[in-house]
């Protein structure tokens, strides 16, 4: 079993990271948090660097400003990748996480190596 300790970016985003290889970022759905990806993290970490984080207003990440829209959530992911010094990642989003993943793809296509949107 993989034991992970949550870390935080300078902006306060709470995340888990483990494994080695091409980075894969997992984005949870609304009302959930990074812990929902436990089984996928275990399975993927043998081949990839896996990052799961709490979106703004979820889990241990800070609340967003009331006017924050999808571009703000995409910026949160960009800040996370910058903090981790990852120039590109494959992004997997579930439910609202899928909307964030798509917004990230539109705002920061140069940082995206792959996109999976789940519902």
Model confidence at 24: pLDDT above 70? yes
Q: What integer pLDDT is reported at residue 3 of this predicted model?
A: 72
**Nearest residue to 100 (alpha-carbon basis) of 82, 86, 118:** 118
Hey, where are the domains in the chain? Answer: 7-49+73-118
Q: What integer pLDDT is reported at residue 61 of this predicted model?
A: 99
- For domain 7-49+73-118, the question of CATH label 3.40.50.1820 is answered with yes
Mean pLDDT along residues 13-20: 98
Q: How confident is the model at residue 1 (pLDDT cuts 50, 70, 90)?
A: low
- The answer to whether 8 and 77 have CB atoms below 8 angstroms apart is no
pTM (2 decimals)?
0.96
Model confidence at 73: pLDDT above 80? yes
Chain centre distance of CA 5: 15
Model confidence at 4: pLDDT above 90? no
């Amino acid at each position: 079993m993989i034991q992970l300790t949550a870390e935080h970016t300078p902006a306060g985003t709470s995340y888990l990271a483990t494994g080695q290889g091409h980075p894969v970022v997992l984005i949870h759905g609304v009302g959930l948090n990074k812990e929902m990806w436990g089984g996928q993290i275990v399975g993927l970490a043998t081949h990839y660097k896996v990052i799961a984080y709490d979106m703004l207003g979820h889990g241990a990440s800070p609340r967003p400003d009331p006017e924050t829209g999808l571009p703000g959530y995409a910026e949160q992911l960009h800040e996370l990748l910058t903090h981790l010094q990852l120039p590109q990642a494959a992004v997997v989003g579930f439910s609202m996480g899928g909307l964030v993943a798509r917004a990230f793809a539109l705002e920061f296509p140069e940082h995206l190596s792959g996109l999976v949107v789940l519902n």
